Homo-oligomer: A and B are copies of this chain.
């Protein structure tokens, strides 16, 4: 930051959903951040704390509407986008020059236009895409440090890619990777819907989007940037009856027989400098990472079969927390500034 008293001026586009809610929860208390405005078209004029009632008495901010000229909303250093897929595609090109951007949607995660259009049914960003860096902080730190624009990873993608990156980067696996991923209901967003209707969701567990989840191409693209991926990822998403949390069980065949201890050591080494990745014994548990920016990982090996378990809070490390982690790097702050939430027991 140069001077510790100078604060990063922040605009949040799309602050009424859960991504926006978490950005506010983090940034309003971040020692080097100042939230200049937060948009929420359907709530324009309302106090932020009327929508995010947890913030009652903690902020006087009100939602504003997005204007045609984005300059009108106030001078900012960085814009966060917490909007539905497709909207950042329209807004980023209209940002005042010099304003950096961190997009929490999928709009800028995929380099290949054909793949993007297949999964997102939108026109690809084209040349603009080249200015975006994929924000999986732990594996992409160097690029993020100098980035102008960040495509923040998806929640499933974060849990999965952090679990698989050491295997691919160290060239340890052969054959097909299979990922069985599970998410809490907040992954469906702040709008109520049939699949988040409490009377049914509370006693349910089911799979959805078999083989076709839109995070698959972003995970594959990222893994291929680290090493060799022999076959397309088999990736299956399921719905958990909890509010927060993602748990990914990743199955791999190793090149050679190894042991749990040996593979654990490789993971510890790989994430040696990653404060927010904790290699744990036994199994991670979404209970221990909820409300935090941590990704807890454990590995187990039997002969040449390995499983990696990876747990995050989908809204923190899987969205707003990682976005702020990336902002910290982009602005020369320590990576964990404003992000050390300890979780709780219970």
Give me the interface of A with B, judged by CB distance under 8 Å.
18, 21-22, 25, 28-29, 51-58, 176, 178, 180, 182, 184-186, 188, 190-194, 196-208, 210-211, 234, 236, 238, 240-245, 247, 249, 251, 253, 275, 278, 280, 282-288, 290-292, 294, 296, 300, 302, 305, 307, 309, 311, 340, 342-346
Residues of B within 8 A of A25 (CB): 342-345
> In this complex, what residue of B is CB-closest to A313?
B344
Q: A53-B285, A54-B344, A278-B57 are in contact. Are A203 and B300 (CB under 8 A)?
A: no
What residue in chain B is nearest A309 (Cβ atoms)? B207
A58 to B238, CA, bound (A): 27
Interface centre among A176, A182, A205, A340 (most CB of B within 10 A): A205
Judge whether B251 and A21 touch: CB under 8 Å: no
Q: List 17 A-B contacts (CB under 8 A).
A: A55-B343, A55-B345, A58-B342, A182-B182, A182-B205, A185-B198, A192-B197, A196-B197, A198-B243, A200-B243, A203-B242, A203-B286, A205-B247, A205-B311, A210-B300, A236-B251, A243-B346
Residues of B near A52 (CB, < 8 A) are 345
CB pair A202 B206 closer than 8 Å: no
User: Given A56-B278, A307-B236, does the pair A205, B346 have CB atoms closer than 8 Å?
Assistant: no
Q: How far is the CA of A200 from the CA of B186 in the complex (A)?
A: 9
Copies in the complex: 4
Out of B180, B206, B211, name the residue touching A284 (CB < 8 Å). B206
- Asked if A28 and B342 sit within 8 Å, CB to CB, the answer is yes
- A247: chain B residues at CB < 8 Å are 205-207, 238
CB distance from A120 to the nearest CB of B (A): 19
Q: Given the complex, which residues of B lie within 8 Å of A208, measured CB to CB?
A: 282-283
Given contacts A18-B346, A249-B238, A285-B204, contact A296 B196 (CB under 8 A): no
Q: How far is the CB of A140 from chain B (nearest CB, A)?
A: 21
Please determine whether A288 and B243 come into contact, CB atoms closer than 8 angstroms: no
B54–A205 touching, CB < 8 Å = no
Closest 3 CB pairs of A and B: A54-B343, A199-B346, A180-B180
Closest residue of chain B to A187 (Cβ to Cβ) is B199
**Nearest B-chain residue to A316, judged by Cβ:** B344
Contact assessment for A55 and B287 in the assembled complex, using a CB-CB cutoff below 8 Å: no
The residue from B205, B241, B253 contacting A198, defined by CB atoms under 8 A apart? B241
Question: Which residues of chain B are within 8 angstroms of A249 by Cβ–Cβ distance?
Answer: 180, 207, 236, 238
Expressed in whole angstroms, the Cα–Cα distance for A198 and B187 within the complex equals 11
A288 to B49, CA, bound (A): 11
- Per the bound structure, the CA–CA distance linking A247 and B208 in Å amounts to 13
Nearest B-chain residue to A298, judged by Cβ? B207
Contact indicator A251/B278 (Cβ below 8 Å):
no
Report the bound CA distance from A278 to B57 in whole Å.
7
Are the CB atoms of A203 and B287 closer together than 8 Å?
yes
Docked pose: A241 CA to B200 CA in angstroms = 12
CB-defined contacts of A21 to chain B, threshold 8 Å? 344-346
CA distance A239 to B249 in the complex (A): 13
CB distance A285 to B206 under 8 Å?
yes
Is B205 within 8 A of A243, CB to CB?
Answer: no
